[in-house]
Amino acid sequence: TGSTRPQRILRAVQKNSTRGSPCSVVNAIDDYCKHKEWAMNVGDEKGIIVDDVVLELKPITVLELGTYCAYSTVRIANLLPPEAKLITLEFNAESAAIAREIITWAGLEEKIQLIIGASGDWIPRLKEEFGIETFDLVFLDHWKDRYLPDTKLLEKCGLLKPGAVLLADNVICPGTPDYLDYVRNSPRYKSKFYRSHLEYTQEEDGLEHSVFLGMAGRGAE
């Protein structure tokens, strides 16, 4: 019974980064996944785009769907204002355990709430159980066929306010065609595509940045 990829990523973090330094944790994961073993982190190239969106938006409440090894969790939380909070949902208990270790190693446990469970079960409970009004930023990076249903669920639960941003990874590779079609054609969103590459490769990929305009869409126009 060998180790799992998340366990090897955690070991690389503990070996090659400094406790309490989110930047060094992000760099250690990127180095490991570039030179030793590919893993499905948003990565350094797309990560710079994520950084720019976060620094521009200055979100106070952030939701991440699909924690995996907490690479993007740490990368985003590191750039948040002091009073901001990030909730991240991960339904695989093994991944969540590794993610929690990496979040703690980075020293970000105060800013990040990791919930073990499925987005479909938890999104309807966030207002009640975590006192969340609405999210300023949602980062979608979980199963690609769940982006659209979870977006509709977020709308239904009133968790998006006008101006909220949905930032979706992998809209080209592996691809999220139904989600792209929705956010690009719905009057409820102003969407734009940030062309990039699949993490640690030369393959085409990119992020979709969609601003929620409200349930009434653009109104009379």
**Which residues have C-beta within 8 Å of that of residue 142, sequence separation ≥ 6?**
65, 66, 89, 119, 150
Among 59, 66, 84, 208, binds ligand 705 (CB under 6 A): 66
Q: Does 150 bind Mg ion (CB under 5 A)?
A: no
Q: Which of 15, 35, 13 is nearest to 26 (CA)?
A: 13
DSSP secondary structure code for residue 83 in this structure: T
C-alpha distances (whole Å) from 166 to each of 60, 135, 188 are 14, 10, 12
**Which stretches within 40-176 are classed as H helix?**
43-57, 71-77, 93-106, 119-122, 126-130, 147-156
Q: Does 89 bind ligand 705 (CB under 6 A)?
A: yes
205 is catalytic: no
Among 62, 98, 164, 198, binds ligand 705 (CB under 6 A): 198
* Shortest distance in whole angstroms from residue 216 CB to ligand 705: 28
Q: What are phi and psi of 66, to 5 degrees?
A: 95, 90
Q: Does 191 bind ligand 705 (CB under 6 A)?
A: no
Contact 106, 21 (CB under 8 A): yes
Binding partner of 198, given Mg ion, ligand 705, none, CB within 5-8 angstroms per partner class: ligand 705
178 is catalytic: no
DSSP secondary structure code for residue 172 in this structure: I
The residue number with the shortest CB distance to ligand 705 is 66
* Shortest distance in whole angstroms from residue 121 CB to ligand 705: 8
| Positions marked active-site | 141, 144, 169-170, 199
Residues forming contacts to ligand 705 in the complex (CB under 6 A) are 40, 66, 68, 89-92, 95, 118-120, 141-143, 146, 169-170, 173-174, 198-199
Residues forming contacts to Mg ion in the complex (CB under 5 A) are 141, 169-170
